[in-house]
């Protein structure tokens, strides 16, 4: 049965089947559909007789989301295979199981070996192996960096550069949240409702997708946090690379995940 995403298990299910740039392409389509303002540096914002299309219009930003996704994926694939080759949590769980059952001896920290969580897992499943949300288990490529998290950082950075980040969400639509069963959407009434912005919600989309892979048991926390920074860097470098490709005078201003701001302008 299809449901709206309401918890970590639902997030894990979503990122089990999604296309890597799907959430951000959807976000871009939604923002275009509701008329979200473009960044103040868009050259056609004040034009009375022209509008952006192939450059600085809807088709341009839609293509950039896909372009930066493939660049981010290539960058993280090199990190996976050419640099880190980090063990997946599932594989590490296998080492924990073999160590606990005296089949092998590994240099595993005692804090983990003595943790109550291992006894809880063994009691529930008859094994110390890490439970997995995905029936087939982890992907067979290394854990770090995370492809989903890198693409999340890259695509969201492009969207934050393109759209006016400070736009209040309530100016565009009424924010909704899934009900407890995931069967329907209901009005969001949180205390921060009036403070929700385009930039903040885009950051949440990226974090939710990346965290969803953690919830699936296939990534470590740092796979998420550091890989989003890698994607952000890829996106900024793409925007810098393209500053000499357009005739229009323009600029992009965006807020990085660390809170600092970046301005990218035509030289």
CA 205/CA 12 separation, integer angstroms = 14
- The domain ranges of the chain are 8-88+138-265
pLDDT value at position 123? 96
CA 66/CA 22 separation, integer angstroms = 9
To which CATH superfamily is domain 8-88+138-265 assigned? Vanadium-containing Chloroperoxidase, domain 2 (1.10.606.10)
Residues facing residue 58 across a β-bridge: none
pLDDT tens digits, residue range 227-254?
999 999 999 999 999 999 999 999 999 9
Is 125 an annotated catalytic residue?
no
CA 18/CA 220 separation, integer angstroms = 20
Secondary structure element (H or E) that encloses residue 254, with its range: strand 251-255
Secondary structure element (H or E) that encloses residue 253, with its range: strand 251-255
Is 233 an annotated catalytic residue?
no
Q: Residue 16 corresponds to which tokens in the numbers above?
A: 């089990």
pLDDT tens digits, residue range 53-66?
999 999 999 999 99
| DSSP-assigned states of every residue in 54-75 | TTBSHHHHHHHHHHHHHHHHHH
CA 155 → CA 36, 51, 187, distances in Å? 17, 23, 27
pLDDT tens digits, residue range 21-42?
999 999 999 999 999 999 999 9
Q: Which residue among the candidates 16, 97, 125, 148 is catalytic per the annotation?
A: 148
Q: Which residue among the candidates 60, 109, 141, 219 is catalytic per the annotation?
A: 141
């Amino acid at each position: 049965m299809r449901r709206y995403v309401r918890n970590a298990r639902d997030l894990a299910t979503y990122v089990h089947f999604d296309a890597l740039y799907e959430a951000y392409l959807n976000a871009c389509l939604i923002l275009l559909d509701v008329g979200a303002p473009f960044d103040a540096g868009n050259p056609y914002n004040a034009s009375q007789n022209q509008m952006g299309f192939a450059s600085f219009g809807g088709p341009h930003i839609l293509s950039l989301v896909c372009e930066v996704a493939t660049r981010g994926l290539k960058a993280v694939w090199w990190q996976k295979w050419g640099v880190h080759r980090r063990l997946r949590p599932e594989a590490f769980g296998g080492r924990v199981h073999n160590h606990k059952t005296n089949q092998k001896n590994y240099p595993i920290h005692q804090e983990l070996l003595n943790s109550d969580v291992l006894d809880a897992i063994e009691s529930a499943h008859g094994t110390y192996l890490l439970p997995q949300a995905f029936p087939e288990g982890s992907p067979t490529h290394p854990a770090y960096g995370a492809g989903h998290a890198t693409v999340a950082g890259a695509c969201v950075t492009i969207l934050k550069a393109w759209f006016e980040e400070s736009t209040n969400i309530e100016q565009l639509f009424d924010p909704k949240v899934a009900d407890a069963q995931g069967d329907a959407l209901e009005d969001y009434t949180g205390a921060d409702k009036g403070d929700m912005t385009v930039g903040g919600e885009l950051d949440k989309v990226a974090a939710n997708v990346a965290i969803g892979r953690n919830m699936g048991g296939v990534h470590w926390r740092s796979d998420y946090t550091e890989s989003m920074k890698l994607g952000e860097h890829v996106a900024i470098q793409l925007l810098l690379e393209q500053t000499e490709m357009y005739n229009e005078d323009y600029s992009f201003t965006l807020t990085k995940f660390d809170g600092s701001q970046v301005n990218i302008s035509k030289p």
